[in-house]
Structure 1
Amino acid sequence: MRWSGQRVRADGVGEAAALPGLRGLLRSVRTPEFAGTVFHEVEAKSALNRVPGSSPMPFRWTVNPYRGCSHACVYCFARNTHTYLDLDAGADFDSQIVVKVNVGRVLAREVARPRWSREPVAMGTNTDPYQRAEGRYRLMPGVIRALAGSGTPFSILTKGTVLGRDLPELVAAAREVPVGLGVSLALADRELQARLEPGTPSPRARLDLVARIADAGLDCGVMVAPVLPLLTDSAEALDALLGRVRAAGASGVGVLALHLRPGTREWFTAWLAREHPALVPAYERLYRRGAHVDPEYRRALAERVRPLLRRHGLDRGSGVRRSGGEEAGPGPQAGFPASDVARRAPPGEPPAAPVVEQLTLL
């Protein structure tokens, strides 16, 4: 699991010295297999993260084996969390990855305590637990076993096909506790996907993962997220993607509009100015109120999506939730992870559209 001879200097030179906000650092390593990426291996003091009581999320606990994400999605809502480590929300988020090497052991200890009430735990609500590094560090099997062995329900949302490795563990866990699995897939256009999400598996690979999960006898929801105004939001593009999602065997679907929090907004806007400069003024108008897209756009997107969901048989039993939190299907019980339900709509926005907002940053 470790990479000998690849240590980054920690004597005041290099990346390791630039992490004053990181506790429990064991070492920082790089390897040719992950060119341009530094992994900061830490011993975590705790694994369970309590969700703030003010959060509208329908779960109270999360587990994040990694901080930062090599998926490098330009729109990732978790980017600003890296600034807590005195790292930036842009390139550092993509390339300076914190690895909690003892997360499985710590979690097993925490969920074995008598006071642990076995509340549902969500994963993939911040950074992806199945990003590429998981293929090497193999943290998730221990996490899965700890949760299932303690009788704790859990959900996982991912873009990472490494999850396929753990299907036997997940099938076994589902015999013991409720397990929700979800795959995030924003678009089917391979060329655009490679520019937006350069570190992620292809859309085809993620659809194949959905099929593998279904073939293993587990329900799998798909998050069509985020929908990017004027780039991926046409009826034709959404229709084609929802058709492929349905054909892959998804048991649920959610459609989420792009959400631009601080940190993410600056990184995404810089990308947009390079790749699609003509769209910058339109985005400035659509997001002039802040992180949430303009309410009129959300209404229009909802009207566009609603008949497409019906066409593909995804409007019943799909786990789609309305933007105000009202459920439009059976939700997590249909294989839609608890981490994927809607957060509350901004004040004054209508709760009737079957398009849900991007997750709150936890």
Structure 2
Amino acid sequence: MSKPLIYKGRASISNAAGRFEKQSRAAEDDGWGSLDAELPPLATEVIIDSSKSVLTYNDSPDIPFDRSINPYRGCEHACIYCFARPTHAYLGYSAGLDFESKILVKPDAARLLREELAKRNYRCAPLALGTNTDPYQPLERQQRIMRQILEVLIESRHPVSIVTKSALVERDIDILTEMAGQGLASVYLSITTLDRTLARTLEPRAAAPQRRLEAVARLREAGIPVGVMMAPLIPVLTDYELEAIVSAAHKAGARSVQYILLRLPLETADLFAEWLQQNYPLKAEHVMNRVRDSRGGKAYDAAFHQRQTGSGSYADLLAQRFRLITRKLDLAGSLPALRSDLFLPPNLGGQMSFDFFD
């Protein structure tokens, strides 16, 4: 068995080659105990993404939006359960440590979005951000790509919904408040656990749970429709917190709470199982058995309408508990619908200045 690759601030403990690669590498001890040496810090590598378009469309029947933007590919938050990890294989990278440390950025995202919104055949509908990787991950502090995208959206009066684990969303409260006043913006904060110790290993570079709840409160105070997404709800590790998380979200001012049961597609299943054995060895088998109980005996079932909440008696019990607590607290299943009738195609001949937002 190979030695775990344990880096501070990283969740993965391996970096296996992507599933499309023809070659793989394995570290071997040279007889001098080289594998026992302490690993140096793993720095984040920023790579420019030269994509020619920025909008991604989908026709999935169980997803409430048909278009999205991902300003970043890969995510420094390093959440071990992230269902987006396998997408890094398409880039020739590993779904493990590469996903957390080799981040592709789209510096031209705002310009590309402006051009696509200006097309004569474009039809406006709510745009989703944060559906794959987090648009407010740590690199956004320097890159400010998300801020630039919001500037294009407010200029064109285009509706947007955001999901994030980062309190950095507060930076853009000025733009989001104005958009929300026109029915054009809503935000979900993703909260997986209230246990700080668990969160530190599970999602090491995301904001602390309490800090996310504070962001919920500040967005609510600013008049922005805000909810909490329990994503994911993890069998055995966090499922007992369901009622506590919903109650904390309600207390912070969330108008809606939703949940997604743990999803482990492709490489994510092995990465999560490795993490369990390293951090919670006594619970590992129990967790994976519960996962399979809710996924038809497999680590993952991608069937529409089941992939979000699972199936079987365990999944049904979670759904019943969720219905009871949200009904008790009078929480909505979703935030108010966003408006699409105010859309104005951007003017490519000139661009408004948004310096007054800074």
Select which of 285, 291, 301 maps to 2:300. Answer: 291
1:303 aligns with 2:320: yes
Cα RMSD of the aligned pairs, angstroms, is 2.2
Q: TM-score with structure 1 length normalisation?
A: 0.75
Q: TM-score with structure 2 length normalisation?
A: 0.76
Corresponding residue number in structure 2 for 1:342: none
Counting aligned pairs with the same residue, the percent is 37
Amino acid paired to 1:85: L
Segments of structure 1 that go 5 or more residues without pairing to the other structure are 1-17, 22-33, 320-330, 336-362
1:46 aligns with 2:49: no
Distance in 1 of aligned mates of 2:239 and 2:337: 26
Query: What is the 5 A alignment of 1:255-334?
Result: 255-286=259-290, 287=292, 288-292=297-301, 293=310, 295-314=312-331, 318-319=332-333, 331-333=334-336
Distance in 2 of aligned mates of 1:256 and 1:332: 16
Amino acid paired to 2:63: M
Q: Give, in angstroms, the shift of residue 242 of structure 1.
A: 1.8
Q: Give, in angstroms, the shift of residue 65 of structure 1.
A: 0.4
1:133 aligns with 2:139: yes
Amino acid paired to 2:298: R
Amino acid paired to 2:219: I
Q: The residue matched to 2:63 in structure 1 has which SS?
A: coil
Contact 1:251 1:334 in 2 (8 A): no
Deviations 1:178-231 (A, max 9, x none): 212111001100000111000100011100100110011111010012111111
Corresponding residue number in structure 2 for 1:74: 80
Contact 2:255 2:335 in 1 (8 A): no
Query: What is the 5 A alignment of 1:32-111?
Result: 36-51=43-58, 53-54=59-60, 56-111=62-117
Q: Give, in angstroms, the shift of residue 313 of structure 1.
A: 3.0
Q: Give, in angstroms, the shift of residue 61 of structure 1.
A: 0.9
Distance in 2 of aligned mates of 1:297 and 1:91: 32
Contact 1:37 1:95 in 2 (8 A): yes
Q: The residue matched to 2:283 in structure 1 has which SS?
A: helix
Deviations 1:310-346 (A, max 9, x none): 33332xxx12xxxxxxxxxxx23178xxxxxxxxxxx
Distance in 2 of aligned mates of 1:270 and 1:239: 28
Distance in 2 of aligned mates of 1:255 and 1:141: 27
Contact 2:55 2:67 in 1 (8 A): yes
Distance in 1 of aligned mates of 2:182 and 2:254: 22
The structure, 1 or 2, with the larger RCO (C-alpha pairs under 8 Å, 6+ apart) is 2
Q: The residue matched to 2:269 in structure 1 has which SS?
A: helix
Larger-gyration structure (1/2): 2
1:200 aligns with 2:206: yes
Corresponding residue number in structure 2 for 1:226: 232
Deviations 1:232-254 (A, max 9, x none): 111xx222222211111001001
Distance in 1 of aligned mates of 2:153 and 2:80: 32
Distance in 2 of aligned mates of 1:294 and 1:276: 25
| Gap change, CA 1:120 and 1:334, over 3 Å in 2 | closer
Q: What count of residue pairs does the alignment treat as equivalent? A: 288
Segments of structure 2 that go 5 or more residues without pairing to the other structure are 1-17, 22-40, 302-309, 339-358
